[in-house]
Amino acid sequence: MRTPVPDYLQELLENIMTDSAGQVADYIPALAAAPPDQCAIAVSTVHGNTYSVGDDSVEFSIQSVSKPFVYAAALEGLGFEAVDQKLGVEPSGEAFDELSLEAETHRPKNAMINAGAIVAHNLFTIASNDHSERADAVTAFLSRLAGRDLHVDDEVFQSEMETAHRNLAIAHMLRTYGVITEEPHDVVRGYTAQCSVSVTVRDLAMMAATLADRGRQPITGEQVVAPHVARRTLSVMAAAGMYDGAGSWLTAVGIPAKSGVSGGLIGSLPGQVGAAVFAPRLDEQGNSARGIRAFSRLSADMGMHLF
Ligand code: DON
């Protein structure tokens, strides 16, 4: 007899909880205060069934897991040509907070690193008058993917702005090169609000399932982005979603993925499922250590490796 999905996920949760490697992110004060051993796993099928275990109703800030979705939003809104003029699709091979610009064009290498995510945020919100309108536009878009109304966690936003010097420096460099032409502080405020949107692990699994289902939200049925946009987004996630760990991730796990410093990790298996883990202890590359362990098992047990 096959093990029912909830039992399987519970066993998986208990298994990854035995591993206490890694530390919570400490460069954002509000994240440093997070309980390190909260842990949750969710899997959402493209048919709209979501299974979850552990701390699945705990809200945490989406952080870098927002990056592929806002990249998709920019592609959907402005088209490939306009976005490709400002953003590359190559892995950077460097940490997420490096500048990593292409030598001749000065485009950030991809939209998964901070420099590229700041550009994608700016492109998607270019018609906004200020950072609060930018935040509203992004929150509304992420809400359509989650299938419920999301909001910005103001405490995380304020806390992150206090230590946002590196992102401000990156935005000023982008402004110097004309990759953005808007006011750098306002763009970074908008981008930081984007990273501060509160989600649960179930929200993330559904958002990942939307990409897996060629841009169609599995519960609402809304076609949030076009299939070619979902495909492009998954391609860049596969190449660069796990930063300088992207190659070993793709080799071992084989699922397009994206991690964030609050401990979120999503994976989208085209045509099948979106999965998400929330576990705040991070490895040296800034990826959720238990998240990696969970996805390694999921991939092996369910035959989820793409190749
Ligand atoms: O820009 C930052 O530093 C954070 N708001 C997001 C970084 C992040 O989640 C990187 N992920 N591993």
Q: Tell me the C-alpha to C-alpha distance, in Å, between residue 269 and each of 229, 238, 275, 287, 304.
A: 15, 11, 8, 19, 7
> Is 225 annotated as ligand-binding?
no
- Residue 239 Cα, ligand 1 centroid: separation in angstroms? 18
Closest CA to 280 of 269, 270, 291, 268: 291
Q: What is the pLDDT of residue 40?
A: 98
Q: What pLDDT shows up at residue 157?
A: 97
Of all protein residues, whose CA lies closest to atom 8 belonging to ligand 1? 64
1 vs 54: which has the higher pLDDT: 54
Does residue 2 register a pLDDT over 80? no
**Could you tell me the domains of the chain?**
5-61+200-302 (3.40.710.10), 64-195 (3.40.710.10)
- pLDDT tens readout for residues 216-262: 999 999 999 999 999 999 999 999 998 778 889 999 999 999 999 99
Q: At residue 1, does pLDDT exceed 60? A: no
Which residues line the pocket of ligand 1, CB cutoff 6 A? 63-64, 96-97, 114, 160, 167, 195, 259-261, 286
**Hey, which of 157, 249, 261, 292 would you mutate to test ligand 1's pocket, going by the most ligand atoms within 8 Å of its Cβ?**
261
pLDDT in the model for residue 119: 98
pLDDT at 27: 85
Q: How far is the CA of 167 from the centre of ligand 1 (A)?
A: 10
According to the annotation, is 64 in a ligand binding site? yes
Q: pLDDT tier at 282 (50, 70, 90 boundaries)?
A: very high
Residue 167 is assigned to a ligand binding site: yes
Per-residue pLDDT, 201: 98
Sign of CA dihedral 129, 133, 135, 136: negative
Using CA positions, which residue lies closest to atom 7 of ligand 1?
Answer: 64
- Residues 6-59 pLDDT 10s: 899 999 999 999 998 999 998 888 888 889 999 999 999 999 999 999 999 999
pTM for the whole structure: 0.97
For residue 271, how far is its CA from the centre of ligand 1 (angstroms)? 28
